Structure 1
Amino acid sequence: MTIFKPLVLAFLLPTLGVQAEHTKQSVTGLTPQAKTILTQDTTSWKMPLPFDQGVKLGKLENGFQYYIRKNTEPENRVTMYLAVKVGSILETDEEQGLAHFLEHMNFNGLKHFPKNELVDYLQKAGVRFGSDLNAYTSFDETVYQLPIASDDPQLLKNGLQVMRDWAQDAMLDTEEIDKERGVIMEELRGSRGAQQRMRDQYFPVLLNGSRYANRLPIGLEEVITKFDPEVIRNFHKKWYRPDLQSLIVVGDIDPEAIESEIKRLFSDMRVEKNPVDRKKYAVELLNKNQFIAVTDPEMQYTVGQILIKHPEEKVKNVGDYRRSLLKDLYNGMLNARLGELSQSANPPFLQAGIGISGFIGGLDNLSAFFVAKPGALDESMKAVVRELERVREFGFTDTEFSRTIISMQKDLERGYAERDKRKSDGFVSAYLEHFLKESPVLSSEDHYRITKELLGTLTLNEVEAIGKEYYVDKNRDVLIMAPEKEKANLPDETKVTAWLAEVSKEKLVAYEDKVSDLPMLAAEPAKGSITGRTELQDIEGKQIVLSNGVKVVLKPTNFKNDEIIIQAFGPGGTSLYSDSDYYSASNAASLVNSSGLGQLNTIELQKYLSDKKANISPYISERTQGLSGNSDKEGLKTAFEMIYGYFTEPRIEDDIFQSTISRSLSSLENRENNPSFVFSEAVQKSLYGDNIRRNPPTAEGIKSIDKDRALAIYKERFADASDFTFTIVGSFTNEEIEPLLEQYVASLPTIDRDNAAKDLKILEPKKGFEKIVHKGQEQKAQVRLSFFGDYDFDEVENLNMQALESALSNKLLERLREEESGVYGTGASVQYSKKPTGRYSLHIGFGTSVDKYQSLISSALDEIRKIKESGPTQSDLDKFFIEQKRQHEVNLRENGFWLRSINSTLNNEEELASIKRLPSDLEKVNVESVKAVANKYLKEQELFKFILLPDQK
């Protein structure tokens, strides 16, 4: 279960996006005449946007709404959402936190699923708690989600029953309420830290003293721990009612049957005779500028944000939608300029962004944020504001505008090409926004047609006018967040106002849009050839051997209409380089990837690729080096040109090198303030000593990076393609791709050498120990229990370890969360590898209060003991089996799954047939086999206890 936890508003507040108030007329669609005059007559822009006719929209007599749509991506699956227009904003003082508490209680006892039977039942049906079955509470709504299989009629029927129970039939048993208090307190405790402490100071300012400032969904400790159960029952009765609810059902279903079942289940919901008015709250504009600076001892960076608030602009008609496209253009062009600035040799900030978007409480805003360089707050702020001023004075260039329009058109075409492969979750999200915010719901066809026509009507002058309208000196807030030690150096409002005035008086020059007419590659490579073809029946693919020795595995699919993904690897990696070269080696690929390619420098390359769906990136890991990326059919030639370029024409530009070093060094400043970093570093050092390959980067290490040496190492790693293997999966035919392989991959360089990676023998200690770290102000503890050791990598052994992970996670949740109310979340995580030698690790993690961590460690270890003595329960094993089978069914229709699986299998020198063998391999997993791996790997002498506690007083 998740709740909204705002941090910096521009980052984490929900994006309100475009919204619409639909009238009855709006669901009838555009008239035939209107379809042809969008670009000819601006009066047509007043027409309401058409509602998607592919969804069945209905309302019961009691006010309950529903959306139903048949969609077969993925097959035999359905996603259901129950949306309730009830959030923390409706809480009285004595109810603060109860909207969120009620969300929790809907998982702890329903009319047809008492106590914890809901989660247990759904897990037995293959639904994963947390990743599938989930919910969230925000200021204005609570939303429950349930994706399940639709090929089981009884499961589908029970899924709808769950929705009905969530809507109004929570049991709200006193004993269960009291148990859940501890769980929510641990969720609240886990959210405490620098961000929360600063947020409590700046929220009243940024939210203009409105009700939103003191109605955070997590609530108040004194309410959570002490409220009378009758209060939450009254809250439930008052707000969980049909006129505030909607059910969304999208998937491989029969809409008529689903509608009939909804009417049967939801028509008898209780209707209040005198319902409490669901008041809509707002953040009122104050028509003044505000400033606040906050600090905290655990804050790592200095972050600034400028917010200029405006009344919300809802998208009600075609013209409103057109205006939203103008805002998208403004955002895109301005952020491209900031991106260029960040790549300069001495960037003025570590990160920055600007955008016009939705805010909260009936407001929109123009928000500019930046992460300042240490000691350069003024320089960073002025740099961001300077770009806003530059656009206001000189506007954008014609080339910027046309390039961004073309990019938007290309994205539109790509989205439309995949319209019949759109996932159910995408439809659900659109209908959810329609119910909660009256956002428009366009069909794929209408969205494509209207957007395409409107893009042709947009003008550069209009985009610039939008910027001038939003970038004003009124209703402006400036927020600065910084480490405590910077407090004395922070400016006051007068100083910041002076900075802004200085920039406005500067003599600026217009932006110069530098582009190149040169092709990426200086010349076409000499064409190679295909020397061998082998059918790979196990994966319905083919292996091709090229004249230079490169192997290519091809798996054409129809899972997407226009998606091709590529990955390549060869042996070697940073393992072949000494510790003195390690920083140069480990950063070589990222420096090359950040630079230009072939004849194009960084900025030219970015602009060249802006209208292309082609993205290839090199990497160098510890034991391999290679490439990964994606493309559509139109961009496939460009992708292969990039592949050839990264092998033969790489570069590290001086500006990029200096920028990377500068920003990397700056990012290390104040990291010792962060308790999580201090804890992580202490864990790594206790396991690996001072080994630079396992510890966080240091300033000394970053300064040791040599640009020339990094480029030389990169070239060495990509000098021999003969033992590289490429995997290509997606919507292509062999006939389409083979000429490109011959031209750009068969021509890659080769030399006769041994590229085998070295075994660095970097291992954890054989005997476990306890490590306690003290860091942080909050009275909370973070625990990590770990096991490390040698591992027998094997298909079935791996499944047994996954089963152990699943069963142990279930038991930890039942014991530590449900029984002892000591944690919000916990679970086990297993990792294993084959090369250079078989190794495994199993981790258990949780956060809790300082007074509980020792007893919870004992409980966790007791659950391990039980599995070692008796094995997992058959019930937990059955949950694992069905979850694996259900997820495997979905995975087999995903390009990404096939790419990862093929690449991993080839890298580990395993059989490709194993990718499909999961159902039969699961038959070899049982209570005794999981018990055996638990005893084999979870040895008491190999247990490591890592514990983070607050600062000692």
Structure 2
Amino acid sequence: MTSNFSGARLRVSTMAMAAALAVSLTASPAAAQETIAATQQTQTDAVYGVPAWNIDSTELPADPAIVFGRLDNGMRYALRPNGTPQGGASVRFSFDVGNLEESAAERTAAHYIEHMAFNGSTNIPEGELVAMLERLGLAFGADTNAETWPDRTTYKLDLPKTDDATINAAMMIMREVAGELTISDAAVERERGIIISEAQVRNDPRLRRGSDWFTLALPESRLGQRIGSDAEATATISAETLRDFYRAYYRPQNATLVVVGDFDVAAMEQRIRDGFSDWRGTGEPGADYVGAVNPPAKPLLGHFADPAVPGVIEYHRMSPFTPATNTLAEQREELLKAIAGLAITNRVNTLAKQPDAAMLGGQASAQKLFQAAQSFGLLVVTKDDDWRSALSLAEQEMRRADEFGFTQSEIEEAMALFDSALRNAAAQAEGRPSSAIADEIALSSIMDTVVMAPQDTLQLWEALKPAMTADAVHTAFKAAWQGGPTAIHIATKTPIDNFDAEVASALDASQAIALTAPVEAVTADFAYDSFGVPGTVVSDTRIDDLGIRAVRFANGVQLNMKVTDFKPDSVSLTMEIGQGASAFPQDKPALANLMQTLLPADGFAAHDSDEMRRIIAGRNVVMGMRAAQDALIASGTTTPQDLEFQLKLLAARLTATGYRPETQSQWEGLSQLLATNTANNPIQLFISALNYIPAGNDTRFGFDDPAALTRVSLADLKAAIEPQLASGSVELGLVGAFDEDAAIAAVAATLGALTDRAAPARPQTVQPVTFTDDLSRRTLFHAGAADQGLVALQWKTDDGSDARSDATRELLAAIFGLRMTDVVREELGATYTPEAFSYSSYDYDGFGHITVLAPSTPDKMDVVTMAARQIAAELASGTISEDALLRARQPIAERLTRAERDNDSWSSVVATAQAEPDRLERRRNAADVLASITIADISAAAREYLKPDGALEIRVMPKDGSE
């Protein structure tokens, strides 16, 4: 249950923008109208707009697979059959109300009511809802959740089954949310501490900076105040105020129910009519918030100073929010602005790679801000608080775009991204997950937009492409930018004296500099097209019951393939190399962090990262790599069409990684930022030390000092990974829709053509790891807010070599987590999100632990640890009920069922099918093993591991706190 606004602007990566357009792009220039009209004439059954929802459009056809409806009481609904995952369904219940609707006296009401939906209604007693769903196989958080945004509130259920019992429960729950919440005084008081704890956890520097930024940029709007954390308002708001807010806004005309999945549409529609037609609002409806946006005559200037905040410059133009018109012209303008944003983002990030750059990077974009405003502009992350140089860069790059526009090569690069995303979306449409489709439909109702089928979107795009010229993008940019920003906001670690005058001086100096036009870029051909004589296959076998084909090449490279129909036109890949972090030096902590962050941006010996960005534009490929304990791993998804090029990239990564000077320069600034973020966030600090401390401060598992990030270099990484890349074992797994023989030939010409590779070896042979014998309390100190912290208990267990023992400990941890939620969250109100999990190493003999953790204020840590120890003692004494076992086991069982038809879940298993065949046996038997575990088994494990004096306690405290 979350309040979903991070405090920063929404971050949209290049590929995320393209992916979003794959489901929302509906644009066309006038020049393409004839082609559009011809397309529309062939769609004789197309329905334009959404008549059932009163969304008008004469140009945009709605997805014909969606059944739209509206009840007489005004409630909207949408139903769409979908087979991914097979046998399941996703339910979304959205209300057109969020934080923005709250008056000053109602502050925090929208989010508070979201919590109260899980705390008692007419037909579901307080505390029963989550347990009821767990018995049906829904995990709290993963499958059962809710979100509050500034402009909407959405309740989410991802159902593992669509049998009568599960569907009836889902419909009944949503009907209770609609009009039956009791919001009793006692329940409100019990939940108050939990919501305050959540507010404390989320009140980080990023949230505070974002609140300050929007308060400046939109002075006549509530947005800035409503995204900030307000524990005081949560502590004082009354149950009566909450009930009044609920009655005012939880009304049929504000609600949309969406169900997407594997079910009979007619039967589901009848269930909705039977269940929701009698719903009526009570009393007077609440007013929709309408915020004013009046652009000022000159830019508003604002400054936010916090030692924990990264340097950020917001350089934006704000304008009033305009509701969607669902026209081709409107969407064309949105697309042109998106292309302009991509081009400027690429320019800025190229400048960031220069040795003397004053910034770490930036992003330009156009965004709709929660029906409150629209923004267009540039965000820049500064280096070393050098805000003057970064501000000058922002001013000049936006001015350069305004004066000179864009090169054709910039437009073509952006177009390639959109083209690839839209084609992939159309080709993979039948494999889209129900959850993503449901989210899209629910949001479209809030925004009154038309949801199109991916194939229709692609057809419109094809008609549009000829008019996507540099001149058209420049015209759209100028229309959105209108000559300059309306607000400039600068965040620094230290205050800026005489701020307004200093900013004015910096802007005057920057504006006095004459600019030159951007230069057309020429993209070279990819240098790594041939790797020598193709390798020879020396072994080719099949594992028939799992549908896996295992191939080995003469140089030792192993290829494992599983062809599936789970997701059309998509291939999941996992390549494991060498011995991973287990071979890293003990005196170089944080190498794994450096590797995962930098390799995607490093390029190769023959190509810098900018050239690689242009080379791969329009291709769906993986560039990065991470370090697990047992291997260096490249993983992700590609397409059958891009598989051959993807394999060339993988081979080039093994033989020609660049370790370029500009990459090291970026790390010097970025590592400082990452270290600051980690030091100021208790959860991130604990995660960094999660396995480091129980492993006896073994730096291959992490670190407890964030400054370690600043003490490693690209040269250190090269020394650690280059021997593994050059000669380490290589095993590749491919899962998805592809041709096996074509894949074998492509691997033979790339990975199979490389020099001989070593045989796989377990990390245990490098240096063993054991759970520390020192169980004295460890305290880590963070630099964040004084009311933030975290406490954890870790009990030594065992490795993951025995499947049944491993599954038993997973169930034990799940039951522990349920009890922590019941006791520490619900009864004591001491934390927002207690968790418990079992970690079992597959790589080091005997190393594993059960960990329970909870974000907590320092004054409640003793209460949390006492409760956790008491729960451990209860479990060890054998007090485990059949209901607790059912609630723990069912979500795991349903997860295993879903994994059977999921490419990604198979990928890591297939990747080691030859080196670790025992993992295949685990996969075969996982469901049966899970089903066979009894309460007696779990109780025995609890007695063995959850010993009263056997817990390692870790506390993450504020620096000015005391033990």
Match of 2:100 in 1: 89
Change in CA separation of 1:465 and 1:404 when aligned onto 2, cut-off 3 Å: same
1:132-166 Cα distance to aligned partner (Å, 9 max, x none): 11111222322111121343112212211111111
Indicate yes or no: 2:793 matched with 1:788.
no
**Which runs of no fewer than 5 residues in structure 2 stay unpaired?**
27-34, 44-48, 50-55
1-side partners of 2:934 and 2:743: how far apart? 44
Q: Which amino acid aligns with 1:877?
A: L
Q: 277, 281, 285: which is aligned to 1:276?
A: 285
Q: Does 1:141 align with 2:148?
A: no
Q: Distance in 1 between matches of 2:229 and 2:676?
A: 32
Q: Secondary structure of 1:126's partner?
A: coil
* Corresponding position of 1:2: 2
Aligned to 1:35: 40
For 2:498 and 2:757, locate their aligned partners in 1 and report how far apart those are by CA, in whole Å.
Answer: 60
Whether the 8 Å contact between 2:24 and 2:457 is mirrored in structure 1 is no
Q: Residue 445 of structure 2 corresponds to which residue in structure 1?
A: 435
Matches of 1:683 and 1:590, distance apart in 2: 20
Deviation readout 1:283-314 (Å, 9 max, x if unpaired) = 321424211112234x2422221221123343
Deviations 1:665-701 (A, max 9, x none): 5654697566667777788886677755432677688
Q: 2 CA distance for matches of 1:777 and 1:617?
A: 34
Shift of 1:828: 0.6
Q: Distance in 1 between matches of 2:669 and 2:288?
A: 51
2:193 to 179, 182, 185: 182
Q: Contact conserved, 2:793 with 2:852, CA < 8 A, in 1?
A: yes
What is the alpha-carbon distance in structure 2 between the residues aligned to residue 879 and residue 683 of structure 1? 27
Cα 1:669–1:794, aligned 2, differ >3 Å: closer, same or farther?
Answer: closer
| CA distance, structure 2, for counterparts of residue 506 and residue 135 of structure 1 | 50
Secondary structure, aligned partner of 2:877: helix
1:811-838 C-alpha deviation (Å, 9 max, x unpaired): 1101111112222111212211032323
Check conservation: 2:7, 2:208, Cα contact below 8 A.
no
What are the Cα deviations for residues 590-627 of structure 1, in whole angstroms up to 9, with x where unaligned?
Answer: 76653333643332222111122222434455543354
2:825 aligned residue (781, 804, 817): 817
Match for residue 254 of structure 1 among 246, 261, 264: 264
2:839 aligned with 1:831: yes
Any residues of structure 2 matched to 1:231-310 within 5 Å, and which? Answer: 231-272=241-282, 275-276=284-285, 278-288=287-297, 289-297=299-307, 299-310=308-319
Looking at structure 2, the residues matched to 703 and 178 of structure 1 have their Cα atoms a distance apart, in angstroms, of 48
Given that 1:19 and 1:437 are in contact with CA atoms closer than 8 Å, whether structure 2 keeps it comes out as no
The answer to which of 937-946 and 212-221 deviates more is 212-221
Q: Which runs of 5+ in 1 are unaligned?
A: 22-29, 39-43
Instruction: Give the aligned partner of residue 357 of structure 2.
Output: 347
Which residue does the alignment assign to 1:469? 479
TM-score, length-normalised on structure 1?
A: 0.90
Cα distance, 1:906–1:470 mapped onto 2, change above 3 Å: same
Structure 1 residue 628 corresponds to structure 2 residue 635:
yes
The answer for the alignment partner of 1:210 in structure 2 is 221
Using the TM superposition, name which of 629-638 and 673-682 deviates more: 673-682
Deviation digits for residues 17-71 of structure 1, max 9, x if unmatched? 99999xxxxxxxx996573799xxxxx9994422223211111111121111111
- Summarize the Cα distance change of 1:150–1:773 in structure 2 as closer, same or farther, 3 Å threshold: closer
Partner of 2:407: 397
Q: Give the structure 2 partner of residue 364 of structure 1.
A: 374
Distance apart, 1:93 and its partner CA: 3.5
Question: 1:902–1:331: structure 2 CA closer, same or farther, 3 Å change rule?
Answer: same
* 1:922 and 2:930 aligned: yes
Equivalent of residue 896 in structure 2, options 888, 898, 911: 888
Where do 1:215-230 residues align within 5 Å? 215-216=226-227, 221-222=232-233, 224-230=234-240
Asked if 1 retains the 8 angstrom alpha-carbon contact of 2:530 and 2:749, the reply is no
Output the CA distance in 1 between the equivalents of 2:828 and 2:931.
Answer: 34
Shift of 1:270: 2.3
Q: 1:692 to 1:850 in 2, by over 3 A?
A: closer
Give 1:645 shift.
Answer: 1.9
The residue aligned with 1:735 is 741
- Report deviation, 1:711: 4.3
Distance change in 2, residues 1:662/1:616 (3 Å): closer
Given that 2:679 and 2:706 are in contact with CA atoms closer than 8 Å, whether structure 1 keeps it comes out as no
Residue 571 of structure 2 corresponds to residue 561 of structure 1: no
**Equivalent residue, structure 1, for 2:754:** 748
Residues 232 and 596 of structure 1: is their aligned pair in 2 closer, same or farther, counting only changes over 3 Å? closer
The 3 A distance-change label for structure 1 pair 121 and 585 is closer
Q: Is the 8 A contact 1:835 1:908 kept in 2?
A: no
Please, what TM-score do these two structures have when normalized by structure 2? Answer: 0.89
Per the alignment, in what secondary structure is the counterpart of residue 355 of structure 2? coil
Alignment of 1:536-935 (within 5 A): 536-576=543-583, 578-579=585-586, 593-597=600-604, 599-665=606-672, 667-668=674-675, 692-693=699-700, 694-695=702-703, 705=713, 707=715, 711=718, 714-720=721-727, 723-750=729-756, 757=763, 758-773=765-780, 776-788=784-796, 790-791=798-799, 793-903=801-911, 910-935=918-943
SS in 2 for 1:615: coil
1:355 and 1:367 in contact (8 A); partners too: yes
Task: Please state how far the C-alpha of 1:739 moved relative to its aligned partner.
Answer: 1.3
User: 2: distance between equivalents of 1:98 and 1:291?
Assistant: 31
Query: Which stretch of the first structure deviates more once superposed, 940-949 or 873-882?
Result: 940-949
Task: Tell me the residue number matched to 2:30.
Answer: none
SS of residue paired to 1:371: strand
When residues 666 and 878 of structure 1 are mapped into structure 2, their CA distance, relative to the original with a 3 A threshold, is closer
Determine whether 1:423 maps to 2:433: yes
Equivalent residue, structure 2, for 1:160? 171
Find the aligned partners of 1:474 and 1:551 in 2 and give their Cα distance: 56
Relative to structure 1, the CA distance from residue 125 to residue 633 in structure 2 (aligned partners, 3 Å threshold; closer, same or farther) is same
CA distance 1:616–1:932, shift in 2 (3 Å): same
Task: Give the structure 1 partner of residue 119 of structure 2.
Answer: 108
1:478 paired residue number: 488
CA distance in 2, matches of 1:164, 1:673: 42
Secondary structure at the aligned position of 1:784 is classed as strand
SS of 2:568's equivalent in the other structure is coil
d(CA) in 2 for partners of 1:672, 1:881: 36
| Structure 2: distance between partners of 1:312 and 1:20 | 19
Residues 62 and 669 from structure 1, CA distance in 2 versus in 1: closer, same or farther, beyond 3 angstroms?
closer
Asked whether the equivalents of residues 167 and 241 of structure 1 are also in contact (C-alpha less than 8 Å), the reply is yes
Q: 1:365 to 1:567 in 2, by over 3 A?
A: same
* Cα distance change of structure 1 residues 657 and 818 upon mapping to structure 2, 3 Å threshold: closer
How has the CA–CA distance of structure 1 residues 616 and 188 changed in structure 2, closer, same or farther, with 3 Å as cutoff? closer
Distance 2:111 2:420 in 1: 42
Give 1:453 deviation, angstroms: 1.0
Secondary structure of the corresponding residue to residue 79 of structure 1: strand
2:361·2:380 contact (CA, 8 Å) conserved in 1?
yes
User: Corresponding residue for 2:46?
Assistant: none
Identity of aligned residues (%): 19
Alpha-carbon distance, 1:201 to partner: 4.5
How many residues end up aligned between the 2 structures?
A: 932
Whether the 8 Å contact between 1:830 and 1:842 is mirrored in structure 2 is yes
For the residues of structure 2 that align with 1:591 and 1:641, how far apart are their CA atoms?
A: 20
Query: What residue is the counterpart of 1:27 in the other structure?
Result: none
Question: Which piece of structure 1 moves more, 764-773 or 531-540?
Answer: 764-773
Q: CA deviation at 1:90?
A: 2.7
Q: 510-519 or 239-248, which moves further after superposition?
A: 510-519
1:80 & 1:481 partners in 2: Cα distance? 40
Question: 1:46-85 maps to which residues of 2 (within 5 A)?
Answer: 47-85=58-96
